[in-house]
Amino acid sequence: MFYLSTRGYNGQQKFCDILLEGLAPDGGLYLPATYPQINAQLLQRLREIFHTKGYAHLAFEILSLYIDDIPTEDLLLICRKTYTAEVFGDPLITPLRKIDGELHILALSNGPTLAFKDMAMQLLGNLFEYELKRRGEQLNILGATSGDTGSAAEYAMRGKQGVQVFMTSPHGRMSRFQQAQMFSLMDDNIFNIAVNGVFDDCQDIVKAVSQDLAFKKKYKIGTVNSINWARLLAQVVYYFAGYFQATTENSQSVSFSVPSGNFGNVCAGHVARMMGLPVSQLVVATNENDVLDEFFESGSYKIRDSANTFETSSPSMDISKASNFERFIYDFLKQDSARTADLFHQQLSNKGAFNLSTEPDFANLKSRYGFVSGKSTHEDRLRTIRRMYSSYGQVVDPHTADGLKVALEHMNPGEPMIVLETALPVKFADTIMQAIEQMPQVPHKFKDLESLPLRFEVMPPDLGQVKKFIESHCNS
């Protein structure tokens, strides 16, 4: 299996070649040359493997379709080491729970940092360690986070050989829980940099370092952002696991509702569907930052500036543009990389927008690709959290509430609707308090979190100082 860029670059690269890279050299995103097809026989075999051998083996089978440059035994070991009941809190790894009738929630947030990003990041940590060791190389990961990504990356990379993490975050702007989760890590290979500024300042620093090619090369700087193909691939697995739990036979179809920001999670659903998983709808649920809903409703994709990117109570979906969206558009344009490059490079840089409403396929978005969408506001979140609590005794986090709200607008009679639970409520206690006037439950392993000692470096939003810090602490 070779990987190529949505903008046309084709360097005949294999999975491990692109594993440690970010964007392709032409600025596009990597995709496999084709999506392996799951026929009826293979789907049945995967169902049996999931039920008899469990999630790790299912992951191994699906990953094997895309990875042919890691020996089979090694890949199986990596999957088994990653997806354990101990790390994910349940032998099913992503257990499905029925809410009412056909409405279900797929629990993806029982990993180390209580958000679905662990599902992919834990695998990435083990793949990185494996590949760096094989090459005898080191990697220094530099990232920017407003909360979930940074902690998932740190918990995945802590104690790993050959990897160090330098994570910038806006000082004092994460939730108390998120801050304690990250800053209480005492591992030698984890460095938290609290920048006196906002998230965009952190992201600007990361971008500036990435553009300094000499520095990047000398200090072996890498990233773990959501455009990484391995992260997306890891997420494909739970769409299968959710399907196998919600159905008893492969003639049935299901819908998924996905709280969306950067389009990484739902893009994995798109990949699963392109492989042949019987998914009728992929419901893209956004919050007030509704660039994606606007596209699926109107065909117009208009990215926002920071003044028009709102701070909401589902903060992990507060995006101005959806960084994985280019992958879907490339498929939508029938793998036309020249047009994809024109849209994402020329039109977005020049006009900040493009419009595909006159494409012949736009009217068929739902029938061909399953995509439908909707949006949820702060009031909707509060209402949904209250209703889930009063009717079913369940407390859901604000992002999952966005997914539920939009899911209910797209139910097909007789067909399971699976809402992806992207975080646990304890991460967003203030909003839960506002909705139901009680504090969310704190999982046992985090009971004492907020009283642990913290270790972090405070810095002004200054590129020079961040670089100096990396220079003096880095493996090279």
Ligand X SMILES: *Cc1c(COP(=O)(O)O)cnc(C)c1O
Q: Which is nearer to ligand X, 129 or 402 (CB)?
A: 402
Which of 94, 151, 184, 262 contacts ligand X by CB under 6 A? 262
List 225, 260, 384, 431, residue binding ligand X (CB under 6 A): 260
Q: Which stretch binds ligand X (CB under 6 A): 259-267, 305-313, 436-444, 462-470?
A: 259-267
Answer for which of 7, 171, 399, 467 binds ligand X (CB under 6 A) is 399
Query: Of 132 and 322, which has the nearer Cβ to ligand X?
Result: 322
Which tokens hold the place of 177?
């829980």
First to last CA, the chain: 32
Identify which of residues 189 and 289 has a Cβ nearer to ligand X in the complex.
Answer: 289
At its nearest, how many Å lie between ligand X and the CB of residue 239? Answer: 13
Helix (H, G, I), strand (E, B) or coil at 170: strand
Binding to ligand X (CB under 6 A) within 217-236 occurs at 226
- Residue 298 Cβ, how far from ligand X at the closest point, in Å? 20
SS3 call for 8: coil
Of the candidate spans 21-29, 260-268, 300-308, 385-393, the one that interacts with ligand X by CB under 6 A turns out to be 260-268
Q: Judged by CB under 6 A, which stretch of 126-134, 173-181, 257-265, 447-455 contacts ligand X?
A: 257-265
Work out whether the CA dihedral 231, 237, 241, 244 comes out positive or negative.
positive
Compute the C-alpha angle 151/156/161, nearest 5°. Answer: 130
Q: Nearest approach, Cβ of 462 to ligand X (angstroms)? A: 28
Q: Looking at 244-252, 256-264, 275-283, 350-358, which segment touches ligand X (CB under 6 A)?
A: 256-264
d(CA 30, CA 3): 6
Contacts with 436 (C-beta within 8 Å, 6 or more apart), sequence order = 385, 386, 389, 395
Least spacing, CB of residue 117 vs ligand X, in Å: 5
Residues near 134 by beta carbon (within 8 Å), at least 6 away in sequence: none
Binding piece for ligand X, criterion CB under 6 A, among 56-64, 95-103, 253-261, 338-346 = 253-261
Q: Which is nearer to ligand X, 244 or 325 (CB)?
A: 325
Interface size with ligand X, residues (CB under 6 A): 16
54, 95, 112, 259: which one binds ligand X (CB under 6 A): 259
CB of 397 to ligand X, least distance (A): 7
Question: What are the residue numbers of the active site?
Answer: 117
Identify the three-state secondary structure at position 363: helix
Q: Are 194 and 459 in contact (CB under 8 A)?
A: yes
Q: Tell me which DSSP letter residue 461 carries.
A: S
Write the interaction track for ligand X spanning residues 412-441; mark x where CB under 6 A is met and - where it is not: ----------xx------------------
Check residue 265 for interaction with ligand X (CB under 6 A): yes
Instruction: Collapse the DSSP code of 210 into the 3-class scheme (helix H, G, I; strand E, B; otherwise coil) and give the result.
Output: helix
- Least distance CB 474 / ligand X (angstroms): 27
DSSP letter, residue 428: G
Which residues are CB-contacts of 296 (< 8 A; sequence separation ≥ 6)?
Answer: 284, 365, 371, 372, 373
> Footprint of ligand X on residues 305-334 (CB under 6 A)?
316-317
Sorted by sequence, the CB contacts under 8 Å of residue 92 that are 6+ apart come out as 54, 55, 241, 245
CB of 420 to ligand X, least distance (A): 8
Nearest to 462 by CA among 60, 161, 171, 75: 171
Please identify, using beta-carbon distances, which residue of 425 and 461 lies nearer to ligand X. 425
Tokens of residue 213, six digits:
């090619």
- Choose which of 3, 35, 263, 325 interacts with ligand X (CB under 6 A): 263
Q: Work out whether 124 is an interface residue with ligand X (CB under 6 A).
A: no
The tokens describing 368, both together, are 């061909």
Q: How many CB atoms sit inside 10 A of residue 272's CB?
A: 25
Alpha helices in 175-253 (DSSP H): 176-183, 199-211, 213-218, 229-246
Residue 264 binds ligand X, judged by CB under 6 A: yes
**Which residue, 76 or 417, has its beta carbon nearer to ligand X?**
417
> 419-453 burial by CB neighbour count: b if 16+ within 10 A, else e?
bbbbbbbbbbbebbeebbeeebebeeebeebeeee
* Segment 31 to 70, residues that bind ligand X, using CB under 6 A: none
Give the per-residue contact string, 126-165, with ligand X (x = CB under 6 A; - = no). Answer: ----------------------x-----------------
**Which residue among 4, 115, 202, 395 contacts ligand X (CB under 6 A)?**
115
Compose the 181-220 pattern: x for residues touching ligand X by CB under 6 A, - for all others. Answer: ----------------------------------------
Answer whether 314's CB lies under 8 Å from 399's CB: yes
Residues lying near ligand X in the complex (CB under 6 A): 115, 117, 148, 226, 259-265, 316-317, 399, 422-423
